[in-house]
């Protein structure tokens, strides 16, 4: 007996930041979607992420900006210093010093963001324990096969399924490449309060980039990016104690209380992962949309963390994608063939056009900034120390000075 086929107009793969933001954006426009998530609950990987101006504009567009703000503190200033003994006085920079547009930055716990997104969605929008094993075509529709034997037929398939996206592979996009760098990340809680000012702290030197940022008065997120080959570090090392020892050994002349951040981090709050990115040329010339299938978030533009834009750009993607689909579905200009399928294709093509160059820029600049900030080359180190704000703060602020636009109300798709 053949399995029943479930009908769903818009199917989203992955209940991460991009997937849930897209679903919420569509919901705000009165458009129903279903999110398929392979795990049995919200993803808990990753501790926190810094959300910049562009992310807050997008979060406000889907109506959850204030709810997320309530879980964090405002970051206005930056403290940038060196990990070697040749520079003992960190440079203080204010986020508005670059005279661009509005500036807003906060560090948000990933679970807080995902829980708020989930809470705002109608019950039943997310189908957990739903791992995709195959994607087929059936005329204008896509057939999505799940590991439990279920089959969904959909008019539009949106892949928000991360770096190892099955949807991206179906589109023919190349696999992300290894950046030859890794990141050790940690999250530390101070029950009585940590006492650090609400700043983004960043330090460089010796081939290492270390930094931390308070999420609120009692918790801090920290990170250390480095090139394993320079230190003969085993990329497969999974012992959190050794990760902690490695980071502390590379912190140079950091203040005692900065060292304490790493020292007092619980072992189950430390992780290490190699950094990957999609080549900019693959984003520019590859199929990021084809036959009513597209990708968003890390499935589209995995990038190194050197601009702090991974999560921010995923939220942007969700708003733009929802808006483009909403505009297309409310249009009455297309009246031939399968009406909704043709309309959705127009919407996805517009989304791809809007996001291709933005994604290309973010991935490219993040890679270059990471090289300049982390390089141990003497010439690069000299200019980095001389122009600290240009090498560190300015790229963050400039790339965050972006408005993805608002959602536009449309008629519902039933």
- Comparing 245-259, 330-344, 354-368, the range with the smallest average pLDDT is 330-344
For residue 202, the Cα-to-chain-centroid distance in whole angstroms is: 20
Residue 27 main-chain phi, psi, to 5 deg: -60, -40
Residue 73 has pLDDT above 80, yes or no: yes
Q: Which residue has the higher pLDDT, 102 or 281?
A: 281
pLDDT of residue 4: 79
pTM: 0.92
- Comparing 63-77, 113-127, 387-401, the range with the smallest average pLDDT is 387-401
What's the pLDDT tens digit per position in 295-317? 999 999 999 999 999 999 999 99
Residue 411 has pLDDT above 60, yes or no: no
- Comparing 101-105, 116-120, 334-338, 397-401, the range with the smallest average pLDDT is 334-338
Residue 86 has pLDDT above 60, yes or no: no
Residue 263 main-chain phi, psi, to 5 deg: -60, -40
pLDDT of residue 408: 75
pLDDT of residue 98: 66
CA dihedral 325, 326, 330, 334 (to 10 degrees): -10
Residue 235 has pLDDT above 50, yes or no: yes
What's the pLDDT tens digit per position in 219-234? 999 999 999 988 888 8
Pairing of strands 293-295, 151-159: parallel
Q: Which residue has the higher pLDDT, 60 or 252?
A: 60
Give the residues across from 48 on adjacent strands: 109
Pairing of strands 34-36, 126-127: parallel
E strands, 278-341, in order: 289-290, 293-295
pLDDT of residue 99: 63
Which stretch of DSSP H or E encloses residue 29? none
First to last CA, the chain: 30
* pLDDT band with cut points at 50, 70 and 90 for residue 89: low
- Name the average pLDDT for the chain: 89
What is the sign, positive or negative, of the torsion defined by CA atoms of 28, 404, 328, 284?
negative
Residue 375 main-chain phi, psi, to 5 deg: -60, 140
Q: What's the mean pLDDT in 139-148?
A: 93
Burial class (CB in 10 A: 0-12, 13-18, 19+), 368: middle
For residue 358, the Cα-to-chain-centroid distance in whole angstroms is: 14
Q: Which residue has the higher pLDDT, 106 or 330?
A: 106
pLDDT of residue 412: 44
* pLDDT band with cut points at 50, 70 and 90 for residue 150: very high
Structural contact between residues 5 and 40, judged by C-beta atoms closer than 8 angstroms: no
């Amino acid at each position: 007996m053949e399995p029943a086929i479930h009908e769903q107009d818009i199917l989203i793969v992955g209940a991460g930041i991009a997937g849930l933001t897209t679903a919420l954006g569509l919901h705000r426009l009165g458009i129903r979607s279903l999110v398929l998530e392979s795990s049995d609950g919200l993803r808990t990987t990753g501790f926190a992420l810094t959300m910049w101006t562009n992310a807050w504009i997008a979060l406000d567009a889907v109506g959850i900006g204030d709810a997320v703000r309530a879980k964090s503190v405002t970051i206005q200033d930056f403290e940038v210093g060196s990990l070697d003994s040749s520079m003992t006085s960190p440079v203080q920079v204010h986020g508005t010093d670059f005279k661009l547009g509005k500036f807003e930055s906060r560090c948000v716990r990933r679970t807080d963001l995902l829980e708020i997104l989930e809470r705002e969605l109608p019950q039943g929008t997310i189908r957990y324990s739903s791992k995709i094993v195959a994607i087929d075509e059936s005329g204008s529709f896509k057939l999505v096969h799940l590991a439990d034997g279920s089959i969904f037929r959909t008019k539009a398939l949106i892949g928000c399924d991360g770096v190892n996206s099955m949807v991206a592979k179906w589109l023919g996009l190349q696999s992300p490449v290894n950046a030859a760098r890794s990141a050790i990340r940690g999250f530390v809680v101070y029950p009585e309060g940590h006492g650090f000012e609400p700043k983004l702290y960043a330090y460089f030197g010796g081939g290492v980039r270390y930094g931390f940022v308070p999420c609120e008065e009692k918790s801090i997120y920290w990170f250390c990016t480095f090139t394993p080959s320079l230190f003969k570090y085993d990329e497969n090392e999974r012992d959190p104690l050794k990760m902690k020892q490695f980071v502390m050994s590379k912190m140079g002349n950091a203040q005692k209380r900065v060292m304490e951040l790493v020292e007092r981090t619980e072992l189950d709050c430390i992780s290490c992962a190699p950094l990957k990115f999609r080549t900019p040329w693959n984003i520019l010339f590859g199929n990021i949309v084809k036959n009513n299938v597209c990708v968003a978030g890390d499935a589209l533009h995995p990038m190194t963390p050197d601009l702090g834009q991974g999560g921010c750009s995923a939220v942007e993607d969700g708003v733009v994608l929802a808006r483009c689909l909403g505009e297309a579905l409310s249009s009455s200009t297309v009246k031939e063939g399968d009406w909704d399928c043709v309309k959705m294709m127009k919407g996805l093509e517009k989304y791809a056009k809007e996001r291709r160059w933005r994604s290309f820029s973010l991935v490219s600049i993040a890679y270059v900034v990471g090289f300049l900030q982390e390089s141990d080359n003497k010439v690069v180190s000299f200019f980095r120390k001389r122009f600290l704000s240009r090498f560190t703060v300015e790229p963050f602020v400039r790339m965050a000075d972006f408005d993805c636009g608002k959602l536009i109300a449309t008629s519902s798709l039933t």
